Amino acid sequence: MKKIIISLLTIGLASIALRGARAQEIQIENTINVLGQTKPIPIALSGFTGEGAEVLKFDLTVQGFSFVTPDAAQYLVSGSDVGGISGSLTDKFAKRVLLSRSYNGASLRRQAHAFANDIVEAVTGKKGIGQTKIAFKSQPSGYGAGEIYVSDFDGANAQRITTDNAIVAKPAWVPGRLALYYTSYALDNPDIFYHSLTTGQRRKIAAYSGLNTSAAVSPDGAKIAMVLSKSGSANIWVCSAEGTNVKQLTYGVQDSSPCWSPDGQWICFATERNGRRRLAKVPAGGGTVQYLNTTGAANPTEPDWSPDGKWIAFTSQMGDFDICVMPADGGASPSVLVGGQNPSWAPNSRTVVFNRSMGYRQILSVLDVFTKQSKDCARATGSSSQPAWAK
C-alpha cells in the first residue's frame, strides 16, 4: 500500500484588524437560523485570474458569500495570483481594511485556500474549511468494484487509498488523525478495515459472518459504532477502536447508518419499524431507543450530526433523493434543501458534502446549508459517492 503524504501549507500569522468584528459576528449569527433562506454576504473580487479566482469563488460560495459587482458589495477583495497569492480584504461600509497579506510555500491552490480561510475568519470570526479533506468511494463504471479516495474538500488532488479491486463502501475518518475506517469486500465478505494514511498500515476490525459495515468513529476516537448482522438482523453495535468489546445496542428488523452526537452521548441511526423507515437515537452505552420526528421528509436515512451539535442532516427518499436538515433537538420540521444523498458535515457546521446523480454516474457537491448555494467538486475518474468530511 502506497504511503500517502498530505502536504500542509506553512504560513505566517495574518495581519488582521478586527475592531468591531464581534458586532459583525453577532449580525451574521442572527441570520443563519433559517435553513436555505439566509441571504449570502455580498463580496466583490478583482485582480485574480485562473486557478486563484476559481478557488476563492468555490471556497467562499460554499461558506455563505456571493460574488457581486463592487457597487453592490459590502466586502472588497483585491489582489493578484501572479507568482503567488497576495490580497487584501476591505469592509466598504466601515471603510476599513480587515486583512492584507501575501502567501508563499506550497502550491498556488493551497495559498488561495489559505487566503479564503483568512477572509472567512476576518468577516465571520469562524474558521474556514479551505484546507480540509474528504474521503469517498469511486467506481469506474458507476457500480460494482471501486476504491477509496482522499482529496481536498473541493475534490482536487484526489489520491487513491485502496487497491482492493472490490466493492468498497462508507469511509469514515478518525477525528484529528489521518486514518480511515471503511468496508471492503476484498476478502469476499463485507468486512470493516482500519487504514492509516501516513503509514499505509491496514488491519481488519470487524470480519464476522454476514454484514460488517458503516463504521462511525466516536468524537474521542476511542469507539466505533457500526452495523453488524452477527445476531441475525442488521443492527447497531459498538466496539473499541481496535474492534474488541463488541456490544449490541439495537434489536430492530433493519438498522443502518449510525453517526455520533458531538458529545459522544448518543448514536443516531436509520431504522425500520412497522414497515416504516425512521430516524432514531440510542444512548451510546445502551438504553431506550428514541425516535426523531422527520414529518415532511419521508423515508429518512444516512443521518450525520453537525459538529456543533445543532443539526442533523440526512437523506430523504420521496421519489427522488433529497438532502434534508433538521434541528437536532427536534424543535422544527426538516427542511428539504437540494437533491442528493449521503450528506456529511464540514467542521464549520454550515457546509455539507454529498453526492448527486449526473446521468448514470454520481458526482460530489458541496452545499452551504443556510443559503442553499452549492458547487460541484472536481471529479475523480468514474462515479464518486458516500463522501465523509474529515473533522
Please say if the pLDDT value at position 2 is more than 60.
Answer: no
Q: Model confidence over 224-241: pLDDT tens digits?
A: 999 999 999 999 999 999
In whole angstroms, give the CA distance from residue 312 to residue 326: 5
Cell, residue 173: 475518518
Q: Which amino acid is at 49?
A: T
Banded pLDDT at 360 (limits 50, 70, 90): confident
Banded pLDDT at 106 (limits 50, 70, 90): confident
State residue 237's pLDDT score.
98
Q: Model confidence over 364-388: pLDDT tens digits?
A: 999 999 999 999 998 767 899 999 9
State residue 343's pLDDT score.
98
In whole angstroms, give the CA distance from residue 109 to residue 81: 10
pTM recorded for the entire structure: 0.90
State residue 23's pLDDT score.
36
Please say if the pLDDT value at position 1 is more than 90.
Answer: no
Please say if the pLDDT value at position 324 is more than 60.
Answer: yes
Domains of the chain with bracketed CATH: 21-124 (3.30.160), 133-389 (2.120.10.30)
Please say if the pLDDT value at position 17 is more than 60.
Answer: no
Banded pLDDT at 18 (limits 50, 70, 90): very low
Nearest-CA neighbor of 257 among 202, 222, 305, 196? 305
